[in-house]
Structure 1
């Protein structure tokens, strides 16, 4: 299986903050050149300056994956730049805290477009390239939320369940082509995610540890990784409790 030292270029989506930004910085430490994607151009420009100072090549591209043509514009950019990407990190995504009917359906369609459709399209495009050259890697960012029905996070959790199952299936399919797929499923992490859903009193794992755990798992050819003992325990316990009772318990917790 390929190792990070074999890679020259990585594409990181959702790299303007949080887990995606940290992936960019830890890959830069390994001297991997980067294409960083996000929606905030000012943030991307600032991150590019900081990363370039580490002696690597950096390109950035702003696109909204929930809008028509967002993914295609990023792919066109990569092709125009003639960059041979070796590692794809699908991190772009967003969530919402609240009951299902608290938002209109267009909001959820945008979430599905970003969390599922864009991830699938990018994976299809780059996996085809990786299979052709018999080398490459894909890290898809899911969540422990994808392991159970999650009231008040219903659509978000469902999108992450897709990411987990999709990634595991691809891991099995693509390994024979020397393409390694890893699914990262973090629990609560210290990022802007909870600020955006108006829950600022949430403790979480440092983003540095989440990303370091993911890259270590990738090097060990693992198909999936859940950072943190309590998160692993949560997922294990979930498998022991009937879904009906578990969903009610989770609803009371949130």
Structure 2
């Protein structure tokens, strides 16, 4: 089973807030060195200070818009041996498909799919070279369903789910573990940025992260936080046809 203590440097995307921030803190508590990537330099700086107050971990933060600066991030970590990659950065957008601008959807697809795949491709090659590594990709319970008014976001997360599970199987005998994390509603800035109203029935980011790291060390390929989300995956997804699910979700959303 993989052990977090075996890794030296972890790279966390979307580390400025939410789930990414909690990954950074929890990995620091386990004494991993960290590369933190995000757009908010002030938030990254404060996170670095907080990490230094609880851990002796080395911290490098990189301010970057990953859609534009993926190569910049790769170039600025070329001197490090990144052996744990946390692909957390992601975007969503709520509303009927034709009502938003194309460039908004293009950004979502680029970040959720292209950037995640490119970073995985690059750092996985180094992991294979040294014979050790781990990858945690943040998908969503939305990726299991056809969701009206969330069509593009849910579809990108379906990609993350399938990509992650395929890689997990591919790398079983390579000492590189891949975990797909599929949270439901979590108290982050996601819903505000997605232009969607929220309620108070949400998981806390730390709860998601602690469970995900536990699942990673247990060697699981998929972690779905919360019993309700697990039931949606294991029961609804298997009993009802996609056509029925899409109609139900149209009313729900």
Q: What TM-score, normalized by structure 2, do the two folds share?
A: 0.96
Equivalent residues in 2 for 1:165-180 (5 A)?
165-180=162-177
Equivalent residues in 2 for 1:106-125 (5 A)?
106-125=103-122
Aligned to 1:20: 20
Instruction: Give the Cα separation in 2 of the matches to 1:188 and 1:111.
Output: 18
Give, in angstroms, the shift of residue 86 of structure 1.
1.4
CA offset digits 1:52-92 (Å, max 9, x no partner):
2222110000111222xx1100000101xx21111000001
Which of 145, 161, 164 is the matching residue for 2:161? 164
Instruction: Give the Cα separation in 1 of the matches to 2:172 and 2:62.
Output: 30
Structure 1 residue ranges without an equivalent (≥5): none
CA RMSD of aligned residues (A): 1.0
Aligned to 2:57: 56
Aligned to 1:6: 6
Aligned residues: 250
Whether 1:96 and 2:93 are equivalent positions in the alignment is yes
Structure 2 residue ranges without an equivalent (≥5): none
Equivalent residues in 2 for 1:214-233 (5 A)?
214-233=212-231
* Alpha-carbon contact 1:12-1:37 (below 8 Å) kept: yes
- 1:202 to 1:152, Cα distance in 2 relative to 1, 3 A: farther
- 1:62 to 1:24, Cα distance in 2 relative to 1, 3 A: same
* Alpha-carbon contact 1:94-1:115 (below 8 Å) kept: yes
* Alpha-carbon contact 1:66-1:111 (below 8 Å) kept: no
Aligned to 1:188: 185
Give the match's secondary structure for 1:86: strand
* Alpha-carbon contact 1:2-1:135 (below 8 Å) kept: no
* Alpha-carbon contact 2:66-2:111 (below 8 Å) kept: yes
Give the match's secondary structure for 2:244: helix
Instruction: Give the Cα separation in 2 of the matches to 1:239 and 1:108.
Output: 29
Instruction: Give the Cα separation in 2 of the matches to 1:52 and 1:184.
Output: 27
Q: What TM-score, normalized by structure 1, do the two folds share?
A: 0.96
Instruction: Give the Cα separation in 1 of the matches to 2:46 and 2:186.
Output: 23
* Alpha-carbon contact 1:144-1:235 (below 8 Å) kept: yes
Structure 1 stretches of 4+ moved >3 Å: none
